[in-house]
Amino acid sequence: MHDDRTLVEGRLKRVLDERIRPAVHPESVPLDIAVWHAPGEPVPVEEGIAGPTGPVAVGDRWGAPWGTSWFRVSGTVPEKWAGRTVEAILDLGFDENMPGFQCEGLVYRPDGTPVKGLNPRNQWVRIGAPAAGGEEVLLHIEAASNPVILDYHPFLPTKLGDKETAGGEPQYTLARMDLAVFDETVWHLVQDLEVLGELMAELPVEGARRWEILRAISRALDAVDLQDVNGTAAAAREQLAEVLATPAPATSHRLSAVGHAHIDSAWLWPLRETVRKVARTTANMTALLEDEPEFVFAMSQAQQFAWIKEHRPEVYAKVKKAVAEGRFVPAGGMWVESDTNMPGSEAMARQFVHGKRFFLDEFGVENDEAWLPDTFGFAAGLPQIIKAAGSKWLLTQKISWSTINKFPHHTFRWEGIDGTRIFTHFPPVDTYNCSMTGEQIAHAAKNFKEKGVARHSLAPTGWGDGGGGTTREMIAKAARLRSLEGSATVEWETPGAFFAKAEAEYPNPPVWVGELYLELHRATLTSQAKTKQGNRRSEHLLREAELWAATAAVRTGAAYPYELLDRVWKTVLLHQFHDILPGSSIAWVHREAEKTYGKVATELTGAIETAQRALAGDPAGGTPLIFNAAPHARGGVAAGAAGPAGGGAGAQLTAREGGGFVLSNGLLEVEVDGRGLVVSAYDISAERETVAPGEAANLLQIHPDFPNQWDAWDVDEFYRNTVTDLTDLDELTAVEGDATADAAAGAGPGAVGVRVVRSFGASKVTQLLTLAPGAKRLDIDTEVDWHETEKFLKAAFPLDIHAERYASETQFGHVYRATHTNTSWEVAKFEACNHRFVHLEEPGWGVALVNDSTYGHDVTRTVRASDAGTTTTVRVSLLRAPRFPDPETDQGVHRFRHALAPGAVIGDAVREGYRVNLPERRLTGSGEVAPLVTVDNDAVVVSAVKLADDASGDLVVRLYEATGGRAKARVALGFDATGLAVTDLLERPSAELADGAGGPELADGAILLSLRPFQLVTLRLTRG
Burial class for 930, CB neighbours closer than 10 Å (0-12, 13-18, 19+): middle
Q: Return the exposure string of 121-142: e unless at least 16 CB atoms fall within 10 Å of the residue's CB, then b.
A: bbbbbebbeebebebebebbbb
> Could you tell me if 451 and 410 are in contact, meaning their C-beta atoms sit under 8 angstroms apart?
no
What φ, ψ does residue 35 adopt, rounded to 5°?
Answer: -145, 145
119 DSSP β-pair partners: 122
Q: How far apart are CA 112 and CA 47, in angstroms?
A: 10
Q: Could you tell me how many residues make up the chain? A: 1024
Q: How far apart are CA 753 and CA 425, in angstroms?
A: 53
Q: How far apart are CA 323 and CA 326, in angstroms?
A: 5
Residues near 962 by Cβ (< 8 Å), separated by ≥ 6?
812, 813, 906, 907, 910, 939, 940, 941, 1014
Q: How far apart are CA 31 and CA 180, in angstroms?
A: 10
Q: How far apart are CA 439 and CA 203, in angstroms?
A: 10
Q: For residue 147, count other CB atoms closer than 10 A to its CB.
A: 26
Angle at 517 between CA 511 and CA 522, to 5 degrees: 175
Angle between helices 562-574 and 529-556 (to 10 degrees): 160
Q: For residue 772, count other CB atoms closer than 10 A to its CB.
A: 26
Options 178, 192, 374, 714, the catalytic residue:
374
Secondary structure class of 956 (helix, strand, coil): strand
Cα torsion through 73, 75, 81, 87, rounded to 10: 10
Q: How far apart are CA 808 and CA 838, in angstroms?
A: 5
What is the amino acid identity at position 100?
G
Q: What H or E segment, with its residue span, contains residue 231? A: helix 229-245
What are the residue ranges of helices labelled H in 516-561?
Answer: 529-556
Q: For residue 335, count other CB atoms closer than 10 A to its CB.
A: 30
Secondary structure class of 288 (helix, strand, coil): helix
Q: How far apart are CA 244 and CA 222, in angstroms?
A: 18
805 DSSP β-pair partners: 818
Angle at 695 between CA 792 and CA 818, to 5 degrees: 65
**Closest by Cα among 253, 698, 686, 683 to 489:** 253
Q: What separation in angstroms does the CA of 910 have from each of 172, 296, 818?
A: 54, 46, 20
**Closest by Cα among 446, 455, 402, 474 to 252:** 455
HSE-CB of 259 using CA atoms within 13 angstroms: 32
Q: Are strands 67-76 and 752-760 parallel, antiparallel or unpaired?
A: unpaired
Q: For residue 737, count other CB atoms closer than 10 A to its CB.
A: 13
Residues near 605 by Cβ (< 8 Å), separated by ≥ 6?
541
Q: Return the exposure string of 231-244: e unless at least 16 CB atoms fall within 10 Å of the residue's CB, then b.
A: ebbebbbebbeebb
CA quadruple 128, 132, 133, 138: dihedral positive or negative? negative
Active site annotation includes 60 = no
What φ, ψ does residue 525 adopt, rounded to 5°?
Answer: -80, -5
Q: How far apart are CA 495 and CA 373, in angstroms?
A: 13
> Could you tell me if 530 and 595 are in contact, meaning their C-beta atoms sit under 8 angstroms apart?
no
Residues belonging to the active site? 374
